[in-house]
Amino acid sequence: MSSGMLDAAKNNTSDFDFIEQYAVIDAENIPFDSDSFDIVIANYMLYHVPNIDKALSEISRVLKSNGFFFAATYGEDNLKEVDDIFINFDSRLDSVTNNLCKAFGLENGHDYLNKHFGSVELKRYENCLHITELKPLTEYFLS
């Protein structure tokens, strides 16, 4: 969906000589043969797909039987403090991350994934955000 994210992926993986191709594709209609990929990665994007089950079915189809699928997503309390700041500023603003989580999030992602993959494992990445400037945070939130 995003050529900008694809460019970022290319830049971030430029040292990996085993990556053969980069492409912006429709996750619901993946234009590759079955059993084509060792690894499929869907970081912070499944909640944008209109039919998540169709996309996961396609991902499962193109993934080799011994392949790995990695999907990162938000949890309901992700950036909770930031959401609270903006909602307190203007109560018409809704929680961005909570809306994303309703589509595909930490709390419901397992149910989606279990339908399409034999083994599903949750790994939490604990971290924190130290805010030193308001403008970049505001621009991120409003984007």
Task: Label the pairing between strands 63-72 and 37-43.
Answer: parallel
CA neighbor of 117 nearest in space, from 8, 7, 42:
42
pLDDT in tens, 64-110: 999 999 999 988 777 777 777 777 777 766 655 567 778 898 899 99
Which residues constitute the domain of residue 80? 3-142
What's the total number of domains in the chain?
Answer: 1
For residue 11, give the CATH number of its domain: 3.40.50
Q: Which residue has the tokens 């995003």?
A: 2
Q: Which two tokens stand for residue 59?
A: 């991902």
Q: Model pTM?
A: 0.78
Helix (H) or strand (E) holding 37: strand 37-43
DSSP calls for 66-111: EEEEEEE---TTTTHHHHHHHHHH-TT---HHHHHHHHS-TTTHHH
pLDDT in tens, 35-77: 999 999 998 899 999 999 999 999 999 999 999 999 999 887 7
| Cβ atoms 41, 99 nearer than 8 A | no
